[in-house]
């Protein structure tokens, strides 16, 4: 079986869910994640065949945080080259900001999410996912935080 990001370039949507007041949600990756265990992440996932970008990111947000998107904004695309589980990986990362209702956000994938928290740009949790800086720089450039 071909593994996206390892055997071929993967395409993923990464999302920054926020409340419109400077707060954003992140989750800590659980022991059952394939890599970056115990690291804090915004969330994201690979596109499925036949999905548009907006459909993919909306589906992933619903799966991971059990919430519908109130407003979605495409922020940019970047290459993410990193080591994943001791292997080189290459992903094309489509970065989105999503306004959500913070009262409705909860862990939607307890297998892969150990913890959930709301943060501000000056209080980022540690340790962070290796791709977090790349994504956060795009979010700051867009003036979302």
Mean pLDDT of the chain: 94
Write the secondary structure of 97-129 as one string of H (helix), E (strand) and C (coil): EEECCHHHCCCCCCCCEEEEEEECCCCCCCCEC
So what's the pLDDT on residue 3?
86
Q: Which domains does the chain have, with CATH numbers?
A: 10-141 (3.90.79.10)
Q: Give the pLDDT mean for 17-24.
A: 97
Token pair recorded at residue 139: 């979010």
> If pLDDT is split at 50, 70 and 90, which confidence band does 85 have?
low
So what's the pLDDT on residue 124?
93
Catalogue the E-assigned strands of the chain.
10-18, 24-29, 40-41, 44-46, 71-84, 87-99, 113-119
> If pLDDT is split at 50, 70 and 90, which confidence band does 1 have?
confident
């Amino acid at each position: 079986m071909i593994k996206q990001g390892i055997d071929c370039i993967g395409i993923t949507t990464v999302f920054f869910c926020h409340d419109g007041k400077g707060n954003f949600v992140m989750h800590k990756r659980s022991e059952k994640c394939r890599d970056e265990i115990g690291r804090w992440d915004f969330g994201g996932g690979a596109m499925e065949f036949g999905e548009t970008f907006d459909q993919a990111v909306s589906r992933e947000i619903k799966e991971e945080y059990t919430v519908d998107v109130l407003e979605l904004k495409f922020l940019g695309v970047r290459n993410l080259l990193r080591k994943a589980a001791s292997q080189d990986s290459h992903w094309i990362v489509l970065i989105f900001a999503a306004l959500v209702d913070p009262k409705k956000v909860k862990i939607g994938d307890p297998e892969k999410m150990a913890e959930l928290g709301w943060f501000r740009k000056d209080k980022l949790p540690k340790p962070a996912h290796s791709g977090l800086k790349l994504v956060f720089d795009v979010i700051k450039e867009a003036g979302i935080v």
